[in-house]
């Protein structure tokens, strides 16, 4: 009995500081953010102490703002497109690198660099490559794919695709790694017995690989959604949300409201919309993890 | 014999085909990195040429010299190191014991804690930006190093816990018991027995904390109005105005910003790749 009490105490001594820190710096602000979103808080009312409740007014303001609607749709388009590219290319690479060949390991490891590089540098790097006289336009012209240089980041039409291409470049190794891990967990004898039964490569992919990889695939998609949906750095550095809102996303919208116009109320409200979207997706993720635990 | 050699030949052939495909795919994926480095080594005349050169005709280090003799850049480098190291120390002090506690001891609320770390890892930074700004304002740590240090630690802590907990849990309990027979208590057993054994995991955690602290842009530009406190990632933006279209200088700065991260990555590649996988998926 005494031993168990001691064990409990040790557990708390080791774990509580980090937990308390996270509650103070994340948990409390999340709740405080809800409070702010229901008040008329701006830099002026904050300093003069005349903050008052305004109900759901901020939410109405935000949801009826055409700029917000654009940002919301942009975020969705951005996330879905990035996911499609990252996932399909990442999956293909995972299948390739799962084969045994020379250079497989070093190359696979090397590709991960794009995932851990500072996002600011990635953004500037692509901004340079996408510039009018940049290397991408030059190569496309040399290959006779285009005649005139494309205005990648300065036209409202092409700015979003440019940002999507950049983020896909960042996300591919992440998808590749997680899917490759899932692939390597599939026992080889499953494939061997299928081969004996005469299943060809395509059949083996659809009847063995995909079903056995279901958990990894779902986890990668959900995590990818979460990471992509909250994009900030990339858009902020590459386009700043422009031209004319073409690449404005929820996080840059919220940032602008709070720290450019100092409308903390609407900034908080728009951030909460982002939060609710992610929360719904997060619920799915937590359910998935829970299921995995049960299987273990 | 004949059949065996044919089989070996086929296998070798296949391996060669895969290698070629992989290299062909890797080239465009790694090209941006090559392009940054090459461009940073070009002189002014070459960077403005209509037809870009794929190998610099005359590589210069002028861009780097100019950056490294600029007091503003040096200050930004110093700031980056202060923020990243501060964030690393704070995160490791909190997360390593926590991971151990969650792996080793049984107590009420453990599941809730693990779940909380999982969820906080996924929260968008922009969600806590406004409230943290107002809170930091109240406790007077806006425009200090503490603001970005504390806020970037919230990214590292859950990550390190999720990476280290399974590693600690996989260690046999007998290890600590042996240590305790040798006169260690629970705490000293943790420091003298557990930490040295799980060195690889801990070092991976350390690298990630540093990288997260180093790569931050959002917290520094929001919480530090003072230019003198801003790290390299935040000041790189100003170079756009300062150097105009002198991309060779901007890219040299980009290489300098990435350098510590790249060095860490090259030294710890194997562990970082493993850590990414375990920190992202498993609970």
pLDDT band for position A290 (50/70/90)?
low
pLDDT band for position A198 (50/70/90)?
confident
Interface with A, mutate which of B11, B53, B54, B127 (most A CBs under 10 A): B127
B154 occurs within a structural domain:
yes
Answer with the residue of higher pLDDT: A175 or A43: A175
| Average confidence score pLDDT of chain A | 87
pLDDT band for position B89 (50/70/90)?
very high
Inter-chain residue contact A99 with B116, CB threshold 8 Å? no
How many degrees, rounded to 5, is the angle at CA A73 between CA A69 and CA A78?
145
Mean local confidence (pLDDT), B181-204: 81
B53 touches chain A (CB under 8 A): no
B177 occurs within a structural domain:
yes
Tens-place pLDDT, residues A261-278: 999 999 999 999 999 998
Comparing alpha-carbon positions, the chain B residue that sits nearest to A221 is B281
Inter-chain residue contact A226 with B26, CB threshold 8 Å? no
B8 occurs within a structural domain:
no
B86 occurs within a structural domain:
yes
For A61, the token pair is 């303001």
A29 occurs within a structural domain:
no
Report the alpha-carbon distance of residue A220 to residue A181 in Å, rounded: 11
How many degrees, rounded to 5, is the angle at CA A233 between CA A240 and CA B242?
60
A220 neighbors A87 (Cβ within 8 angstroms)? yes
B222 neighbors A236 (Cβ within 8 angstroms)? no
The mean-pLDDT minimum among A257-261, B203-207, B241-245 falls in B241-245
Hey, what long-range contacts does B100-103 have (CB within 8 A, 24 or more apart)?
A: B100/A14, B100/B164, B100/B168, B100/B190, B100/B194, B101/A10, B101/A11, B101/A12, B101/A13, B101/A14, B101/A15, B102/A11, B102/A14, B102/A15, B102/B161, B102/B165, B103/B164, B103/B165, B103/B166, B103/B167, B103/B168, B103/B169
* CATH number of the domain bearing residue A250: 1.10.3720.10
pLDDT at B282: 41
The mean-pLDDT minimum among A194-198, B75-79, B246-250 falls in A194-198
Q: Which residues of A are less than 8 Å from B280 in CB distance?
A: 174, 178, 223
The mean-pLDDT minimum among A55-64, A130-139, B85-94 falls in A130-139
pLDDT at B242: 67
Closest CA to A246 of A164, A136, A167: A164
**H or E element: which one contains B210?**
helix B199-215
pLDDT band for position A295 (50/70/90)?
very low
pLDDT at A296: 40
Dihedral, CA of residue A149, residue A155, residue A159 and residue A161, to nearest 10: -60
Q: Which residues of A are less than 8 Å from B273 in CB distance?
A: 108-109, 112, 177
Mean local confidence (pLDDT), A79-102: 91
For A:237-266, CB contacts with B below 8 A are 237, 250-251, 254-255, 258-259, 264
Report the number of distinct structural domains present in chain B: 1
A268 neighbors A58 (Cβ within 8 angstroms)? yes
Q: Which residues of B are less than 8 Å from A177 in CB distance?
A: 273, 276-277
Within 10 A of A263 (CB to CB), how many other CB atoms are there?
23
- The domain of B268 spans 65-281
pLDDT band for position B259 (50/70/90)?
very high
The mean-pLDDT minimum among A12-16, A75-79, A199-203 falls in A199-203
For B119, the token pair is 């969820």
pLDDT at B283: 34
Interface with B, mutate which of A5, A14, A79, A252 (most B CBs under 10 A): A14
ipTM: 0.88
Cβ-nearest to B119 among A114, A229, A282: A282
Mean local confidence (pLDDT), B85-107: 94
Report the alpha-carbon distance of residue A217 to residue A244 in Å, rounded: 36
A99 occurs within a structural domain:
yes
Say if residue B64's pLDDT is above 60: yes
Comparing alpha-carbon positions, the chain A residue that sits nearest to B114 is A19
Answer with the residue of higher pLDDT: B132 or A204: B132
CA-based nearest distance A219→chain B, Å: 7
A110 touches chain B (CB under 8 A): yes
Answer with the residue of higher pLDDT: B277 or B159: B159
B266 occurs within a structural domain:
yes
Cβ-nearest to A17 among B94, B116, B265: B94
- The domain of A139 spans 65-295
pLDDT band for position B178 (50/70/90)?
confident
Report the alpha-carbon distance of residue B122 to residue A79 in Å, rounded: 15
A24 occurs within a structural domain:
no
Report the alpha-carbon distance of residue A141 to residue A137 in Å, rounded: 6
The mean-pLDDT minimum among A90-94, B45-49, B123-127, B256-260 falls in B45-49
Hey, what long-range contacts does A291-296 have (CB within 8 A, 24 or more apart)?
A: A291/A215, A292/A215, A292/B283, A293/B283
Cβ-nearest to A258 among B130, B161, B215: B130
Which DSSP symbol is given to B51? S
Mean local confidence (pLDDT), A138-145: 88
Q: Residue A41 to residues A34, B5, B181: CA-CA distances in angstroms?
A: 12, 78, 60
Comparing alpha-carbon positions, the chain A residue that sits nearest to B270 is A109
Q: Which residues of A are less than 8 Å from B222 in CB distance?
A: 255, 259
In three-state form (DSSP H/G/I as H, E/B as E, the rest C), the secondary structure along chain A is: CHHHHHHHHHHHHHHHHHHHHHHHHHHHHHHHHHHHHCECCCHHHHHHCCCCECCCHHHHHHHHCHHHHHHHHHHHHHHHHHHHHHHHHHHHHHHHHCCCCCCHHHHHHHHCHHHHCCHHHHHHHHHHHCCCCCHHHHHHHHCCCCCCCCCCCCCCCCHHHHHHHHHHHHHHHHHHHHHHHHHHCCCHHHHHHHHHCCCCHHHHHHHHHHHHCHHHHHHHHHHHHHHHHCCCHHHHHHCCCCCCCCCCCHHHHHHHHHHCCCCHHHHHHHHHHHHHHHHHHHHHHHHHHHHHHHHC
Answer with the residue of higher pLDDT: B256 or B246: B256
Say if residue A1's pLDDT is above 70: no
pLDDT band for position B232 (50/70/90)?
very high
A217 occurs within a structural domain:
yes
Mean local confidence (pLDDT), B92-107: 92
For B275, the token pair is 């850590």
* CATH number of the domain bearing residue B170: 1.10.3720.10
CA-based nearest distance B61→chain A, Å: 19
Within 10 A of B34 (CB to CB), how many other CB atoms are there?
11
B186 touches chain A (CB under 8 A): yes
A62 touches chain B (CB under 8 A): no
CA-based nearest distance B126→chain A, Å: 6
Comparing alpha-carbon positions, the chain B residue that sits nearest to A291 is B283
Say if residue A49's pLDDT is above 50: yes
Dihedral, CA of residue B142, residue B147, residue B151 and residue B157, to nearest 10: -160
For B277, the token pair is 């996988």
Tens-place pLDDT, residues A209-244: 888 888 888 888 988 898 899 889 899 999 888 788
Q: Residue A149 to residues A142, A144, A158, B190: CA-CA distances in angstroms?
A: 11, 11, 12, 61
Report the number of distinct structural domains present in chain A: 1
B26 touches chain A (CB under 8 A): yes
Terminal CA-CA length for chain B: 51
């Amino acid at each position: 009995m005494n031993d168990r009490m001691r064990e409990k105490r040790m557990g708390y001594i080791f774990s509580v500081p980090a937990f308390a820190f996270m509650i103070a710096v994340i948990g409390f602000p999340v709740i405080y953010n809800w409070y702010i979103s229901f008040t008329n808080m701006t830099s002026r009312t904050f300093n003069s102490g005349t903050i008052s409740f305004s109900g759901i007014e901020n939410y109405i303001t935000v949801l009826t703002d055409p700029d917000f609607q654009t940002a919301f749709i942009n975020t969705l388009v951005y996330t879905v497109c990035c996911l499609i590219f990252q996932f399909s290319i990442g999956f293909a690479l995972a299948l390739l690198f799962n084969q045994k060949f020379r250079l497989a390991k070093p190359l696979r490891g090397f590709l991960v660099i794009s995932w851990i590089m500072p996002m600011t540098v990635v953004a500037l790097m692509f901004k340079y490559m996408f510039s009018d006289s940049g290397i991408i336009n030059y190569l496309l012209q040399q290959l006779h794919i285009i005649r005139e240089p494309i205005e990648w980041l300065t036209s409202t039409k092409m700015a979003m695709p440019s940002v999507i291409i950049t983020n896909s470049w960042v996300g591919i190794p992440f998808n590749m790694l997680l899917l490759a891990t899932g692939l390597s967990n599939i026992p080889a004898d499953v494939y061997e017995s299928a081969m004996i039964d005469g299943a060809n490569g395509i059949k083996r992919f659809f009847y063995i690989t995909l079903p056995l990889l279901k958990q990894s695939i779902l986890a990668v998609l959900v995590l990818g959604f979460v990471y992509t949906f909250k994009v900030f750095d990339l858009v902020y550095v590459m386009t700043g949300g422009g031209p004319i809102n073409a690449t404005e996303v929820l996080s840059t919208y919220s940032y602008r409201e709070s720290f450019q116009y100092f409308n903390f109320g609407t900034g908080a409200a728009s951030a909460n919309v982002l939060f609710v979207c992610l929360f719904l997706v997060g619920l799915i993720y937590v359910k998935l993890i829970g299921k995995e635990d049960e299987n273990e | 014999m004949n059949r065996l050699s044919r089989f070996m030949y086929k296998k070798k052939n296949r391996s060669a085909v895969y290698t070629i495909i992989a290299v062909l795919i890797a080239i465009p994926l790694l090209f941006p990195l090559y392009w940054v480095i090459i461009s940073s080594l070009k002189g002014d005349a070459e960077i403005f040429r209509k037809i870009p050169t794929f190998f610099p005709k005359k590589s210069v280090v002028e861009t780097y010299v100019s950056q490294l003799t600029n007091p503003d850049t040096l200050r930004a480098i110093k700031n980056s190191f202060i923020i990243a190291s501060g964030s690393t120390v704070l995160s490791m002090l909190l997360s390593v014991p926590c991971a151990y506690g969650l792996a080793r001891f049984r107590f009420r609320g453990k599941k809730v804690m693990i779940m909380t770390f999982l969820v906080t890892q996924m929260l968008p930074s922009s969600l806590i930006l406004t409230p943290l700004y107002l809170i930091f304002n109240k406790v007077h740590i806006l425009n200090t190093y503490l603001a970005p240090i504390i806020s970037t630690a919230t990214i590292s802590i859950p990550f390190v816990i999720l990476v280290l907990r399974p590693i600690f849990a996989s260690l046999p309990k007998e290890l600590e018991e042996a240590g305790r027979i040798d006169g260690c208590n629970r705490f000293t057993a943790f420091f003298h027995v557990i930490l040295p054994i799980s060195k690889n995991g801990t070092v991976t955690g350390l690298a990630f904390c540093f990288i997260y602290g180093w790569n931050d842009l959002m917290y520094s530009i929001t919480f530090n109005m003072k230019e003198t406190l801003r790290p390299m990632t935040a000041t790189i933006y100003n170079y756009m105005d300062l150097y105009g279209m002198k991309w060779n200088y901007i890219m040299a700065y980009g290489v300098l910003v990435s350098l510590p991260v790249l060095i860490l990555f090259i030294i710890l590649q194997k562990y970082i790749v493993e850590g990414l996988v375990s920190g992202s998926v498993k609970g």
